[in-house]
């Protein structure tokens, strides 16, 4: 176990206690020697953890301490690496570059032992067929972030061109296709638009009437109601 993981475990154990707990008991629960336990407590205190107490009296972690953002467990490191590698292979070029940049920033701030874990991760993402988008996905993500209406030119299931004004609030990434989830003004309901069938998308200056979090919650509720009967939200 790395030192960073050991400190993380110690914090988790301390959080379980509302009264002072002896150093010997903390050492037993974290699987270290008493001497190592005292050194680890001193390290956490130096990082800003409000741990009160001393040998013979016990220790307690005062409320309000936030875990330093660059302390991750081994599995959290693996999740970060796997997630960024998936985005690099499955997302649009802008998001893929952002994932690589974000991981590089995290790596630069990590302690040496955790940085080694990140660099040596053996979790890989397999190849996938290229996804042909009709438009720049970055525009869709921007409209979602700013809660702006989109005017779409879309090819429906019958191959006919249709024009829609939609309220975009989510974007789904699948193996072979990406799907924009939106409220459609024409259909007065939630609809799914495959990005490879969007021929044109123009972002409006107008914000849509409801917050995207509300739309997402309503859409999820609709999905949950429909799922037992095998139905889905209507296609475009």
Q: What is the pLDDT of residue 65?
A: 59
Q: What is the pLDDT of residue 168?
A: 97
Alpha-carbon distances of 56 from 18, 34, 39, 181, rounded to whole Å = 17, 12, 15, 60
Q: What is the pLDDT of residue 64?
A: 65
Q: What is the pLDDT of residue 226?
A: 43
Q: Name residues of the chain where pLDDT drops below 70.
A: 1, 64-71, 225-236
Q: Which of 206, 165, 204, 210 is nearest to 188 (CA)?
A: 165
Q: Is 171 helix (H, G, I), strand (E, B) or coil?
A: strand
Give the number of other Cβ atoms within 10 Å of residue 147's Cβ.
Answer: 18
């Amino acid at each position: 176990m790395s030192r960073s993981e050991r400190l993380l475990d110690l914090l988790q154990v301390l959080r379980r206690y509302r009264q002072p707990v002896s150093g010997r008991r903390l050492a037993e629960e974290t699987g270290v020697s008493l001497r190592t336990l005292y050194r680890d407590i001193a390290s956490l205190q130096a990082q800003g953890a409000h741990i009160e107490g001393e040998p013979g009296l016990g220790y307690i972690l005062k409320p309000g301490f936030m875990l330093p953002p660059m302390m991750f467990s081994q599995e959290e490191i693996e999740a970060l690496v796997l997630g960024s590698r998936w985005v690099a292979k499955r997302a649009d070029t802008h998001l893929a570059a952002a994932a690589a940049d974000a991981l590089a920033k995290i790596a630069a701030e990590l302690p040496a032992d955790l940085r080694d874990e990140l660099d040596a991760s053996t979790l890989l993402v397999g190849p996938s067929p290229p996804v042909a988008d009709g438009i720049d996905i970055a525009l869709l993500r921007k409209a979602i972030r700013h809660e702006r209406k989109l005017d779409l030119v879309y090819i429906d299931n019958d191959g006919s061109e249709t024009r829609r004004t939609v309220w975009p609030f989510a974007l789904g990434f699948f193996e072979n296709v990406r799907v924009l989830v939106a409220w459609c003004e024409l259909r007065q309901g939630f609809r799914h638009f495959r990005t490879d069938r969007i021929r044109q998308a123009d972002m409006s200056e107008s914000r849509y009437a409801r917050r995207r979090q509300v739309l997402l919650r309503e859409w999820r509720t609709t999905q949950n109601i429909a799922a037992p009967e095998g139905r889905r939200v209507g296609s475009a």
